[in-house]
A and B are shown apart, each in its own frame.
Chain A
């Protein structure tokens, strides 16, 4: 990554203006991922003065500013209080705390990476994104159908819900990318997301219809769910292996939720 000019706008409007006017400008999150590319930009737009680094709660929801670091989310008591360890679990193996202190949730979501674990986890929450220009959009919609390109993500809004959730993944070395990630929640209904397929995480369509009361059905259900997804190859595993472990990981996550 290279850029000529570094700008620190004082408000979101100015930031958006620059982004819109200069087609070769770029929003700078924690630059953990941006840095890896060879791209050359004219302007880097810094978000540090925009007060997007926060975690707030009210009676119904939790709001996370887009410039909040992954480490802050991982260790935040509010988030831990409401969603068990769903989000921390999806973050804790990402390289190291020095990395997670840099990486921001905005960058993690906006880059829509196939191996993103936090996206898998957020998919099973009731979650909305707020953009400066495009306003609010359902998280799932943004993930499954990416049509917002030049806008600023300002916050993530998560509805408080009662119920259990679980995050499970398989990776070889503990700081490697995952081979598969699975999140399950049971608030109003069961939601199941499968990620690192290796393409980006997706919600199961069938999960909502699942009525699993007795434990013996979990295995069957997990197999059914796993069949919904298609899997591909990457450095870490072939599609065939992912296909085989998907029902196992889904089952384990379901078991934890339905325990």
Chain B
């Protein structure tokens, strides 16, 4: 099927198979920040924002994506800088494979969480697995970014 997708505020016409995941389609279109890490919807590295909400693109049918705003880290541009700085200044980015999805989810979290606390941050980001960092450094950085003591 032919779709017109709004990705990072640009339109892309693309021919997809009806059962293809958004993850596959995005990677095919060159949005390589969106990664694949599992087969079960459990790792979070494929997270994208759909109408501002973080969702797993590996589960999301591309066929459903038309008419929605899709955002990947590539589309955050400068808006990602403060989050990225918060993470790299702690050295909390190791292999980086979980990184773009973490940045993106943190961006959505900042908009969504009214009065953030450490527990709320951990809860919000629980679906973003990271095998390298042990999460502590990410938390140190993200706490700063979220203005949580």
Contact = CB atoms under 8 A, between A and B. Distances in A.
Direct contact, A vs B (beta carbon within 8 Å): yes
Interface of A: 1-6, 28, 30-32, 35-36, 44, 46, 48, 71, 92-93, 95-99, 101-102, 174-175
A7 to B, nearest CB: 9
User: Chain A contact residues: over half helix, strand or loop, or mixed?
Assistant: mixed
A97 B127 contact: yes
Q: Which 4 A-B pairs have the closest CB atoms?
A: A96-B127, A6-B18, A6-B63, A98-B54
Interface in B24-71: 39-42, 44, 47, 50, 53-56, 58-61, 63-64
Interface in B1-19: 1, 18-19
Given A5-B18, A6-B18, A174-B126, A102 B60 contact: yes
Contacts of A97: 54, 105, 124, 126-127
B53 A101 contact: yes
A98 B127 contact: yes
Contacts of B40: 36
A71 to B, nearest CB: 8
Nearest to B58: A35
Contacts of A36: 39-40
Contacts of A101: 50, 53-55
Nearest to A6: B18
26 contacts: A4-B19, A6-B1, A6-B18, A6-B19, A35-B58, A35-B59, A44-B63, A46-B61, A46-B63, A46-B64, A93-B126, A96-B125, A96-B126, A96-B127, A97-B126, A98-B56, A98-B127, A98-B128, A99-B56, A101-B53, A101-B54, A101-B55, A102-B41, A102-B55, A174-B126, A175-B42
Interface in B70-111: 105
Contacts, number: 77
Contact of B105 (A2, A4, A44, A98): A98
B18 A98 contact: no
B128 A96 contact: yes
Contacts of A92: 123
Given A32-B41, A46-B64, A92-B123, A98 B19 contact: no
A44 B18 contact: yes
A30 B59 contact: yes
A97 to B, nearest CB: 6
B59 A99 contact: yes
Contact of A1 (B19, B44, B123, B126): B19
**A30, A36, A71, A101 interface centre (most CB from chain B within 10 Å):** A101
Contacts of A48: 64
Given A6-B18, A32-B41, A46-B63, 11 more contacts: A35-B21, A36-B39, A44-B63, A46-B64, A48-B64, A92-B123, A95-B126, A96-B44, A98-B54, A102-B41, A102-B56
Nearest to A72: B53
A174 B60 CA distance: 24
Contacts of B41: 32, 35, 95, 99, 102
Contacts of B54: 97-98, 101
Nearest to A4: B18
